[in-house]
Amino acid sequence: MRHEHIISAKQLSRADIEEVLDHAAEIAADPEAYADRHAGKLLGLLFFEPSTRTKMSFTAAIKRLGGDIVDMGPVEYSSVKKGESLADTVRVVEGYADALVMRHPSEGSAQMASEFVDVPLLNGGDGAGQHPTQTLLDLYTIRENAGLDDLTIGIMGDLKYGRTVHSLAHALTNFDVHQHFISPESLQLPRSVRYDLHEEGATIREHTALEEVLSSLDVLYVTRIQEERFPDENEYREVAGEYQIDAGALEAASDDLTVMHPLPRVDEIDHDVDDTEYATFFEQAHNGVPVRMALLDLLLEGQ
């Protein structure tokens, strides 16, 4: 790839995306062919926030490529608790690894950290900002189930604080896709994201009810209302549980609808949806391994 760091979905062109997705498909078809591809390489993990899927799938990805990890571990047991700056932390860890993955609660932290390191840095989520590697596995899942052109996609839930939403919405502007955004008025897309999407040629269609658009959707991307992002607990309580779907709610949907969720879920998708043909969110999570294998392979080969 032509990029040294993967910080935002906004930096990815259609060609970049297709390169990663095509390579991921090759890896998924014959993972054993890549088993020793990066033997001896180390991936540094710096997770300042909790993570299950991102952290574990990156770990699985580098190990399936023949490499291994060095992990900063929980923040409370690191030098961050002694007052070490983020710049110093990443400078130190880059000396131990060939590439870095970082998750941090502050928006813009990944961009800042990338300015202090020479090894590839991948943004594993920066607050309410971006989550580009999640977007790549989301696009891979969409392509496997519905293609990536001539689609109508609904994105529902926390659009204000949802970094997966911000990344995906930007990336989808590279394709022939109609995007609909469904949320409470208090959780609509931030003005800055809306402006950027307009600049990229996207038409913003906003709704407060899924019923307004469900029957026309090829893909429904559901997100959790993120309690940890709200500065005011009362604001969270006003919208918690407001957007929920179950198998009955999907009766008006197309038979070919693909329902996605970046996980974890709380109560926004009932477990009875899991047994329908619509559900792809566990497949989506599993796709994180071949997609992140492909991304690491391309970045490490490009060093």
Phi, psi of 122 (to 5 degrees): -110, 130
Task: Count other Cβ atoms within 10 Å, centred on residue 195.
Answer: 12
- The answer to whether 286 is annotated as binding is no
Can you tell me whether residue 27 is helix, strand or coil? helix
- The answer to whether 37 is annotated as binding is no
Catalytic residue numbers read: 53-54, 82, 103, 131
- The answer to whether 265 is annotated as binding is no
To which residue do tokens 């689609």 refer?
151
What whole-number distance in Å separates Cα of residue 83 and Cα of residue 140?
A: 40
Task: Look up residue 19 and give its two tokens.
Answer: 């390169």
What whole-number distance in Å separates Cα of residue 124 and Cα of residue 217?
A: 29
- The answer to whether 131 is annotated as binding is yes
Task: Look up residue 182 and give its two tokens.
Answer: 């469904």
Contact assessment for residue 103 and residue 126, using Cβ atoms and an 8 Å cutoff: yes
- The answer to whether 160 is annotated as binding is no
- The answer to whether 163 is annotated as binding is yes
Distances in Å between the Cα of 232 and the Cα atoms of 125, 174, 237, 238, 243 are 22, 35, 9, 10, 19
Which DSSP string corresponds to 30-61?
A: -GGGGTTTTTT-EEEEEESS--SHHHHHHHHH
- The answer to whether 103 is annotated as binding is yes
- The answer to whether 59 is annotated as binding is no
Binding residues: 53-54, 82, 103, 131, 134, 163, 224, 263-264
Binding residues for carbamoyl phosphate: 53-54, 103, 131, 134, 263-264
Binding residues for L-aspartate: 82, 163, 224
